[in-house]
Every structure is written in structure tokens, then in C-alpha cells.
Structure 1
């Protein structure tokens, strides 16, 4: 099928056409200059050949989805949508002047630090979409642009899926199975589009049932591509057509990474993110981002903030009604909770949580106050303060078995499509974290009965046992204990006193001795608990000799 010719840009009041930015199977993107306010903008216009009711509905759906997420720093902002005088729908977006991630990795693979930082930021964007009840379903380097600040900006929600709408079965043509590349397959469309090199195996089922873990797969595949310079299931020097790639994806045959500067911990994270079974992947995009943060800390980099607006604790639970109806799982819109003081939990509550087998959550996440999407049209409660930091401490996350999905009777070779698919997603509900602003003056602090302590989830902080200097003052021994020990727990410690701050050192012991110290100098150490799953104490224990 010959490529579609680029249409003439439409005349838009208040905008002046500058040049073509790009063209796809169903739309063209042009650069315009807006008169007021004066700025360059990208305008996406539906191709005149695609003015069917279905295509127009899909185009409008993309604009509406992007509008819900536009306030996020790592998602392309949409400014306006309308229909041009010639009848073509269009929407006006933020112009991202930098190269896409695809252009960047093709010039040269990313350094580890840049890849980790980009991975956390894009994961933040994807997690924000998930919290709003939206799957992206086409995460790949070409769909992550770079804005004028050099930040990644996720775009192209053209095949994204909204909440609580049935997902149609995948349909194919004979051409799709023999298409040599994903690009060629785009001309043989079904009802579900995808970019094969970054797609999870469940998308190739006869009746695809993607969920948030499907986007996690594509996130991991994208990060692999940035680091290695080619897609994860592409084997240099061997056939890499559509059929070859699908077979490797379904088998989990990831091409080995040969770069020696990439830590094994990061390789393991990428493999887990691209596990053939969704049950073996990270449960959420936030979990994937936190794993990347741990690698940053392992390499002594400052962890990149996970920016998810009004983040609450997302617990995966069964939706009994949906299960009885034979549905898969679904995402519900995340409701924000107004900040308010909370009293500390009593001992009985804490014991009850332990009896339920609750698993403590993960690392702290920086929250930036931004508009959130409210389910069922309810108004959004106010948020107490901007840039609030959640410091998990007492609330527990309840374990949940993943919803079983019936095995498909057969598999069909997939195709890429521009039409929007929609889906039913897996049971996620929001439980509330109560946030309270820090008091600027200690004299104004509330009494213990009405404390505004921040609620925390996470691995507990070690408890100090004692600090013992030697008789001659040339060494100091620090001892601690694990308040909630679990099998396989270990510790990491480092010196934290001024210029002597040292690297993190793992240990299985509950004590460490620092030799060669000056008896007149204060010596301090920080200690964290490390779980077998890689989770760390939310806050370190710090002990000092004086």
C-alpha cells in the first residue's frame, strides 16, 4: 500500500503555518506560530482520507485524554481543539523543540545516569495516566519528545484506552502476519494498534487483555533501547521481521546486554519489567520507577523525583462484581484526600495490621500539587500545600493475588492500527494517605493528641542499641537492631559525618566498628535495612559518637 501524501495545512484563525513536523498513517503534525499568546505550537490534523465517524471519534478521544493529563511536567500539553474550515479536526499542542528519544538513541546510546533519570520521569508520566484510568499502550522512544528544558514529554495517546469501556478483539488481515516490520504492518490494520518491538506478548493474544503491567513492559523495553541502541528483541545480524520479533517476545528471549558500565541490578530490573508473564513484572509504573531510584542510589546518584500528582496508595484488589461478570480488571480514577492532622495509630491498630499479613510499602515519593481527574464527576477536594513530601510510616499495603485471565485459545499475528482501542483494566482502588503541612514554628506545633505527623509507608528504620568508643578513643563501635526482622534482611551503612561521608557498605551484622578516629572528633554513621526484594528503609538511622 503506497504511503499517504501529506495534506495541505489548514487555515487556522490566530495561527500562521510554518512547516511540517511529521506525518503518520492517520494524521499530520505541523508547526504553527500562535498570535496570542505569541509562541510556537504543534498542530495535529486528522488526514482528510480518514474523516470517517470512527476516525473522528478516535481523534477526539485522544484530545480528551491528553487534556486530562496536560498539567504533568512530562506529558505534552494540549492547548486547544476544534474543526478547521475544511472540516478536518485538529488540536493544538505544546511544541517540543528537542529531539525525540528515538532520534537521540540512534545517534548514540544513553549514559546510565541519563537513562535512569529519563526512565523515572517517563514512568512518572505513565503512572499519572494510570491513576487517571488511562493506558497508553504505545510507549516507545519515538513517542517521548524533548521540550525546551531538555525534559522528556510523553505524547501520542492515539491508541490509548480509557476506563470501563470494553476492549474489542484484535482483528488482522493476511498481510499483517507477513509484514516484515512493524511499520509495514501498520497498513494492515485491525482494531488494536501497537508498535511490535516494544509490545508485551499479551497484546498478540486472540483477545488481548492489557493492563498497567503491559505499559510497564513497554517502559522497560524503551529504557533498554536507550541504553543499548536497538530494541530488546532485535538480534544484530539475524532476521528481525515481525514474525521473528513476536516469537522472541513471547519466549522472553531478550538480547543480552554487553555494555560493561551497566550494573547488573539495572539489567535485572529490565528483565523483570519485560517478563513474558505479566504476573512476574513490576505491578505498577511507580514500582518500576522506585526500582530505578534504587539503582541511582546504588551508584551514589541523587534519586530522581517521581512526580505523580496527588498520589495515594494504590492497592490492587479484586472487583467482585467485575469478576462475576467475566471482566478482567479495571482502573478506577484516583480520588485526592484533603490534608488534615491525624492521630498516631494505637498499638492495637498496628498489631491488627501485622496480623493481616500486611506488607510495608516502598520508597518516599515527591508529590507536586496538580489538578487530578475525579471519578464520577465529584469535585476535587483541596490540597493543603504544594510540593508535599509523603514520608511513609504506618499505613500498610494489603497483599493481593493477581486476577486470573483465561488462556487464549489461539494467537494471531498482530498489526499496528491508528484507530483507538478501549479496555477494561485491572482492579485498582485508592486508599488514602493523609498529608499535613510542616509547621514553620516549633512553638506552633500541635499537641500529641492532635499531631500532624506525616504518614509513612516503608521498611522500618533500624533501632539504635548503643555507641561504644574504645578505651584509647581510636575506634568507635555502633550497634543497632532490626525492629521488624524478615528472612533475608541485611543492612547498608555509611559514615555521615561531614567530609568523611563514605560509600554505602552492605553487611549482615548489626554492628560496625570505625577504626583510626580522633578521640576529639565526632563520628557518625547512617544505617538502612535492605529487604530481599531490594526495598530500603524509608529513613536511615543516624548514630554519632558525641
Structure 2
């Protein structure tokens, strides 16, 4: 049951907005200036001094971040006449993301835009030396402009104060709930959106822990459920923790979600911190690239003027280069080719068969020759294609070596050709010819089906192409640096690049590192940066955009 709203000078109580374990939130009307405000009041019953200290710390944290457009603004803090501390905050009249999920299906464009904006808020907190540590849909409100507003910094901690103490695995086992708390020095965590490092007895979260929760929140917006929740199965706290620790993300069952976005979210929720994006800005840029891929205008990243190296926990696994790479993949044979018969008779060679030395190519129908039905050898489990690679798949139908018409009789071709023409042999020959004709018709029908109905693309984890054939992977070639020249006065720099197999419609996205400007798109293969600080190196990230696909990035620097 909610507590009684305190009497506050200059504020008129309207109604209760919500209740939590340590505080209640009320809607008041401020008299001067006249506006609606949300007042968060700390409960006094059962609240110790550490809870009071955290409440004060939350006020100080939010005050440091209040200028950000996607963080709830705090106007005032004080102690009411009944000795209860309170915060006067911006009133966000819209629903929280958790409430929106109950009412509607959130589109991909909306989820991307929200993800970039929340990344801006999280990056700003990290630049101020603050971890949020409880990012989830319920803690993202919607303000009067329809923008997301991150709130509830009640368990936030300063980076210099790490490591922090939180709920341990043993404590969760004794009190399994999605949101759990422990002793006086411990703070709560929301398990469905928490990274695995928070479940240890001595957790040491860093900025990448917030990135995990951020990616999990965006995934929740698209899936309508938490990332590790499996419909129709037990989804208790311990079940979720086990899946989080094993990285068992439930696939997104939405055909409108591109594979590139699925890859970005999976990397953001990687089990090992070294495999995640190393900063919130890196994560935001990856979401921007998906926006560009979908033909959307990139959402701006709103962070203070800071070096993007700030709050970076350490060098990334890829050496610090830009994220979301599409690896170069060669043609992969889905199964080994059938062994070629030794010394096939010349008469069995089809007129339209491909030369023996011809190289395998994608989307090519080879000559088909008669074969007798034989059990097909199944290959073992195939490697799963990395989710980060957004590629086109082409099924290649390959001909199998012809089997000798006399193979089923136990005789060689030579014996069959020279045998006496008795009625039984003629009957067997007609039967064999009829069976071969049936097989030819079946193979031709399979060719037509493959040509008319191309293989369906699958974006979920574990998706595999159909049996047989090969997979041809199309990868857009990345730019290659030609030159990076700094002007003599150091105030400008010109970068020039080229691409392999350049095409007329090629475009390029480029972005200057160390700035918050969104990616720019150009058809030129050169760009000049101006108003630079002499003596300070400048770098840009360039990627090729071809037929709606984006290559891996080139990082070019001018000293």
C-alpha cells in the first residue's frame, strides 16, 4: 500500500503515479513556475541509513545528468516536514517502455531510434563516471515530446568506486525473483536484463555491463519478451540466469528484423565482456549502420564533447577498430561431392556436361546425367554461419557422376555391351532404361523447382541452408586507403580511398572519430575535414554501401 503524500510548500498533490520497494512516486502540480512534476518520496518504514544514502546519491547523480534530453530531469531535492527525503523530477506523461510492450508491437525503426537515444544517455552517464546498472524497459519513460527518458539511478555507482557489491547467486537461490536485493551493502538487480558477471559472488561491473542491459532492452522491444525467456518453458530466475551465463538468446521471431540487427544485439549481449561493444557510442554507431542499411536517416548520438575513448574499459578484442565487421567468406560446400567413378565409359558422358576443370560458381545449373537411385550419404552437422554476416545465399545444383547402366546387374559395362542379345537381357535393358528415364524426369523437376523457388532466407540463430549444393556468399568489398594527407597548417586533412571491383552505383558512409555527428553518405571517393586542431591526429571510418549492403569498415588516420 502506498504511503501518504507529503505536504510540500508550493506544490499541490494530484495523484499517485507508482510504488516501489523503497519509494513512492506522486504527481504534483508546481505553483511557480506552473507545471506538472513527479515527486519521488523515500519510504521511512524499514529503510536504513544506507538506503537514505543511496537516495541522496541518486539525487546527486541525476542532477549531474539532468541536462541530457533522454535522461529524466531533476528540479529539486529536499526533506519533507515528516522527515522523508524527496526528489522533484520531470513528469513524463507517456508510458514506460514496459507499459508500451503490453499495448503494442514496436516497429524496427522505433526500436532502432530508441536504442540510439538510450545509448546517448548511457554514454553521457559513463562520461560522467557513472554506471546505471539497472537498464530495463520499466526504467525508460516517455516524456511529453515522445522521447525516451532514462530514470531510476537508485542503484547507480561511480566508476571509481568499483567493484560494487550486489545480489549474489547464493542469495538469489534462496530468494528467486526477477528483481532481487540483499544485505545493507548490496543493491538490487533485474535478472532478465543483467549480464552474467553480475551473478558472481564478487561482481565487478563496468561500462560493458550497461551495454549488455542496453542491448537486452532493445531486444525486448522487438521480441515483446526478455531475451532469455523461452515461451512454453519454465522462465524462473534460476532458469534465466543459466541461459544468460550460457548465452542462450531466444531467437527473434520477426521477419522484418534484418540479420544485421540480430547480429548487433547478439554482440551486445555476448557472454564475455571482451566480445561486446566496448562503449555505448560503439553500440549506437552499430545501430546507426543498421538504420542506413534499411534506408532510414541515422538517429543522432547526443553526448557531451568528449573523446570516444572515455570510459572505455580496455582495448577491444579486434584491436580497437570499428565494430560490426562482415567477415570475408569463401564459397562453402554444404556436403562433399560424390566420388567420381574410376574410368567411366566414354559412352556415358553427357554432351552438355561441364568440363572437368571448370571452377564451381554460384547459381549455376550444371548438366544432368542419368543416375540410378542410390542411398544418399549424409554429412555431419554443418557449422553454423556467424550471425554477424549479412549475406545472400544461392543454392547451386551440382550434377552427380553417372552410374553405369549395368551397375545393378553385377556386370561391367563391357560385359553388358558384348553379351548375347537374348530376350532376358533385352527385358532387363528396357527395364533399366525406363528406370533411368524416371530418374532424369525427377532430376529435371528438382532443377525447375530450385530455379522457380529460391531458398528462403533465415535470420535466426542456428539457421542453415537446405541440404545439398553449396552456399555462395556475397560480401561487399571494403574501401582501401589510397592516401591520408594533412595540410601544412594542420587545420585540414584529405582522405582518398578506392574499392575493388568498383561499381557505378557504389556509395560510401564515413564518420569522423571523436565526434558525435552521424555518418555521412557520399558517392565520392575522397573527403576533406576542416577546422582541425593542429598536432592532434584525426581518423575517419569508411564503409562501402552496395545494393543495400554495407562492407566492413576502413579506419584511416592522418597524423
Q: For residues 442-468 of structure 1, what are the alpha-carbon distances to aligned partners after superposition, in whole Å with 9 as ceiling and x for unaligned?
A: xxxxxxxx99999853235xxxxxxxx
C-alpha contact 2:268 2:276 (8 A) present in aligned 1: yes
User: Once the 2 structures are TM-superposed, how far is the Cα of residue 170 of structure 1 from its aligned partner?
Assistant: 3.7
User: Once the 2 structures are TM-superposed, how far is the Cα of residue 82 of structure 1 from its aligned partner?
Assistant: 0.5
User: Once the 2 structures are TM-superposed, how far is the Cα of residue 53 of structure 1 from its aligned partner?
Assistant: 1.8
User: Once the 2 structures are TM-superposed, how far is the Cα of residue 220 of structure 1 from its aligned partner?
Assistant: 0.5
Inter-partner Cα distance in structure 1 for 2:4 and 2:86: 13
Inter-partner Cα distance in structure 2 for 1:159 and 1:342: 51
C-alpha contact 2:62 2:73 (8 A) present in aligned 1: yes
User: Once the 2 structures are TM-superposed, how far is the Cα of residue 192 of structure 1 from its aligned partner?
Assistant: 2.8
Inter-partner Cα distance in structure 1 for 2:81 and 2:2: 18
SS at match of 1:313: coil
The alpha-carbon distance between structure 1 residues 17 and 453, as it changes in their structure 2 partners (threshold 3 A), is farther
SS at match of 1:216: helix
User: Once the 2 structures are TM-superposed, how far is the Cα of residue 6 of structure 1 from its aligned partner?
Assistant: 1.3
Q: How many pairs align?
A: 364
The alpha-carbon distance between structure 1 residues 178 and 35, as it changes in their structure 2 partners (threshold 3 A), is same
Is 2:204 the counterpart of 1:209?
yes
Inter-partner Cα distance in structure 1 for 2:310 and 2:190: 30
Is 2:273 the counterpart of 1:256?
no
2:235 paired residue among 236, 240, 256: 240
Inter-partner Cα distance in structure 2 for 1:266 and 1:367: 23
Is 2:172 the counterpart of 1:24?
no
C-alpha contact 2:167 2:188 (8 A) present in aligned 1: no
Look up the match of 1:162.
158
Inter-partner Cα distance in structure 1 for 2:313 and 2:298: 33
User: Once the 2 structures are TM-superposed, how far is the Cα of residue 345 of structure 1 from its aligned partner?
Assistant: 7.7
Q: For residues 501-531 of structure 1, what are the alpha-carbon distances to aligned partners after superposition, in whole Å with 9 as ceiling and x for unaligned?
A: xxx455xxxxxxxxxxxxxxxxxxxxxxx65
1:363 paired residue among 504, 511, 519: 511
Look up the match of 1:295.
290
The alpha-carbon distance between structure 1 residues 299 and 531, as it changes in their structure 2 partners (threshold 3 A), is closer
Inter-partner Cα distance in structure 1 for 2:245 and 2:168: 18
Look up the match of 2:218.
223
User: Once the 2 structures are TM-superposed, how far is the Cα of residue 193 of structure 1 from its aligned partner?
Assistant: 1.3
2:305 paired residue among 280, 286, 310: 310
Look up the match of 1:62.
58
SS at match of 1:40: strand
Look up the match of 1:520.
none
User: Once the 2 structures are TM-superposed, how far is the Cα of residue 343 of structure 1 from its aligned partner?
Assistant: 3.7
C-alpha contact 1:308 1:367 (8 A) present in aligned 2: no
C-alpha contact 2:167 2:181 (8 A) present in aligned 1: no
**Unmatched tracts of structure 1, length 5 or more:** 320-340, 348-360, 369-387, 392-433, 437-449, 461-489, 494-503, 507-529, 539-546
Equivalences for 1:440-519 in 2 at 5 Å?
Answer: 456-459=538-541, 491-493=544-546, 504=547
Equivalences for 1:41-120 in 2 at 5 Å?
Answer: 41-120=37-116
Q: Indicate the RMSD between aligned Cα atoms, in angstroms.
A: 3.4
TM-score (norm 1): 0.61
Look up the match of 1:197.
192
Is 2:198 the counterpart of 1:145?
no
SS at match of 1:65: helix
C-alpha contact 2:123 2:303 (8 A) present in aligned 1: yes
Is 2:430 the counterpart of 1:282?
no
Q: For residues 288-325 of structure 1, what are the alpha-carbon distances to aligned partners after superposition, in whole Å with 9 as ceiling and x for unaligned?
A: 00000000000000000000021323167889xxxxxx
C-alpha contact 2:108 2:257 (8 A) present in aligned 1: yes
SS at match of 2:57: helix
User: Once the 2 structures are TM-superposed, how far is the Cα of residue 235 of structure 1 from its aligned partner?
Assistant: 0.4
C-alpha contact 2:492 2:530 (8 A) present in aligned 1: no
Inter-partner Cα distance in structure 2 for 1:220 and 1:171: 22
Look up the match of 1:398.
none
Inter-partner Cα distance in structure 2 for 1:122 and 1:192: 23
User: Once the 2 structures are TM-superposed, how far is the Cα of residue 23 of structure 1 from its aligned partner?
Assistant: 0.6
Inter-partner Cα distance in structure 2 for 1:266 and 1:537: 25
Q: For residues 168-223 of structure 1, what are the alpha-carbon distances to aligned partners after superposition, in whole Å with 9 as ceiling and x for unaligned?
A: 4445597631444314x358887031100000000001110100000000011000
User: Which deviates more, 233-242 or 99-108?
Assistant: 99-108
SS at match of 1:109: coil
Q: For residues 224-246 of structure 1, what are the alpha-carbon distances to aligned partners after superposition, in whole Å with 9 as ceiling and x for unaligned?
A: 00001000000011000010000
The alpha-carbon distance between structure 1 residues 21 and 289, as it changes in their structure 2 partners (threshold 3 A), is same
C-alpha contact 1:119 1:289 (8 A) present in aligned 2: yes
C-alpha contact 1:118 1:152 (8 A) present in aligned 2: yes
The alpha-carbon distance between structure 1 residues 21 and 453, as it changes in their structure 2 partners (threshold 3 A), is farther
The alpha-carbon distance between structure 1 residues 459 and 364, as it changes in their structure 2 partners (threshold 3 A), is closer
Runs of 4+ with >4 A deviation: 171-175, 186-190, 315-319, 364-368, 388-391, 450-456, 534-538
Look up the match of 2:264.
269
Inter-partner Cα distance in structure 1 for 2:538 and 2:53: 43
Q: For residues 31-62 of structure 1, what are the alpha-carbon distances to aligned partners after superposition, in whole Å with 9 as ceiling and x for unaligned?
A: 00000000000000100114422111110000
SS at match of 2:149: strand
Is 2:490 the counterpart of 1:344?
yes
User: Once the 2 structures are TM-superposed, how far is the Cα of residue 162 of structure 1 from its aligned partner?
Assistant: 1.0
C-alpha contact 2:166 2:181 (8 A) present in aligned 1: no
C-alpha contact 1:365 1:390 (8 A) present in aligned 2: no
SS at match of 1:192: coil
Inter-partner Cα distance in structure 2 for 1:26 and 1:230: 26
C-alpha contact 2:308 2:513 (8 A) present in aligned 1: no
TM-score (norm 2): 0.60
The alpha-carbon distance between structure 1 residues 40 and 342, as it changes in their structure 2 partners (threshold 3 A), is farther
SS at match of 2:202: coil
